[in-house]
Structure 1
Amino acid sequence: MKKIFLLAVIAIALSATQSFAQSSYKTGLGLGIDFGDGSTLVGPSVKHFFNGHDVIQGDLLFGNDATWIGGFYQYHQAFREATALKWYLGIGPQVALYDGGSTFFLRPTGGLDYKIPTAPLSLTFDWRPAIRLSDGSDFEAARFGLGFRYTF
């Protein structure tokens, strides 16, 4: 009985080590930060890979006395010699909800996603300009995003 238990513990440890050593992941959940001109927004963020290239990301951010809800489609591609590092391009809607109204945005994104090969962590950095579609159109180029996610 003790040998079976010991073998089971070793098998679980080996499989966990192998999953942490992967350079890709299926889903990441963590902290998203949107910053640049204007206020800094912070909140939970999730990223899910449907396959090696097609990804959705959802953000629920808070700041500037508003709640920001956004969803993005992204196309990811690994670098040939650095499989843990991927570049991506994407686009998606975002809405800012505040006391007395809401504002709609279109947010193109382009950035980098790095999955730490020896840990279940992903780090992202992207450029995400804001195109305001309501309350008078406007374009804000100096907006960026950071993501810190636990991967599984």
Structure 2
Amino acid sequence: MKNVFLFFLVTSLLALGVQDADAQSRYRTALGLGIDLGDGPTLVGPQIKHFFDPANAGNAQVLFGDDVTVLGVDYSYNQPIRGANGLSWYVGVGPQLAFIDNGRWWYGDDDWDGNETFFALRPAVGLEFKIPSAPLAFHFDWKPWWNLSNNSHFEPARFTLGFKFTFK
């Protein structure tokens, strides 16, 4: 009888631990729309975010603007804010590729008109809110653009907004 009680106690504690871990991540995967704005062009496109565990996530996006397409992936470390149901903070970083097609990127040589590919790193610090009673999430972050190619440049005044539909 003692072994049966111990078995149920251990099983119950494990089940509670799994539920707690699931509650922290709030969702497993989300699809949505990303908007990259600030000093320079506004870019818009689809994005996907996937949690590998309650704290670590990957985000991928394809953004479009005038004469530019940006492909990017990011890693982020996410933590809930205590006492604020559905609100969490995150920090992250990721590489970005910008493909310019017969246009002028927002920095560099004003006389430049051509086809070029830029490689950048983009750190991010932001907030995400998952509506507890609906499969929707929103984020806002500061995401500067640090170009590492073609006349290296750092643009601090860049931000992203995201609107996502979440899946368990």
TM range (shorter): 0.7 to 0.9
For the pair shown, which has the larger CA radius of gyration, 1 or 2?
Answer: 2
Which residue does 1:103 correspond to in 2? Answer: 118
Equivalent residue for 1:91, pick from 90, 93, 107: 93
In structure 2, what is the Cα distance between the partners aligned to 1:88 and 1:23?
Answer: 12
In structure 1, what is the Cα distance between the partners aligned to 2:149 and 2:85?
Answer: 40
Is residue 47–residue 57 contact of structure 1 (8 Å, CA) maintained in 2? yes
Distance 1:108 1:23, change over 3 A: closer
Quote the RMSD (CA, aligned, Å). 1.5
In structure 1, what is the Cα distance between the partners aligned to 2:24 and 2:153?
Answer: 42
- Structure 2 letter corresponding to 1:143: R
Offset of residue 80 of structure 1: 1.3
Q: Which runs of 5+ in 1 are unaligned?
A: 1-20
In structure 1, what is the Cα distance between the partners aligned to 2:151 and 2:140?
Answer: 29
- Post-superposition Cα deviations, 1:64-114, rounded to whole Å, max 9, x if no partner, equal 311100000000000111241110000000010122220011000000010
Q: Secondary structure of the residue that 2:86 maps to in structure 1?
A: strand
Is residue 23–residue 116 contact of structure 1 (8 Å, CA) maintained in 2? no
Give TM-score scaled by structure 2 length: 0.76
Equivalent residue for 1:72, pick from 45, 51, 74: 74
Offset of residue 23 of structure 1: 7.5
1:26-41 map, 5 Å: 26-41=28-43
- Structure 2 letter corresponding to 1:71: V
Is residue 24–residue 54 contact of structure 2 (8 Å, CA) maintained in 1? no
In structure 1, what is the Cα distance between the partners aligned to 2:92 and 2:75?
Answer: 5
Between the aligned residues of both structures, percent identity stands at: 55
User: 4+ runs of 1 displaced by more than 6 Å?
Assistant: none
Is residue 23–residue 117 contact of structure 1 (8 Å, CA) maintained in 2? no
Q: Which runs of 5+ in 2 are unaligned?
A: 1-22, 102-114
Is residue 138–residue 164 contact of structure 2 (8 Å, CA) maintained in 1? yes
In structure 2, what is the Cα distance between the partners aligned to 1:78 and 1:39?
Answer: 32
- Structure 2 letter corresponding to 1:40: T
Which residue does 1:139 correspond to in 2? Answer: 154
In structure 1, what is the Cα distance between the partners aligned to 2:92 and 2:62?
Answer: 18
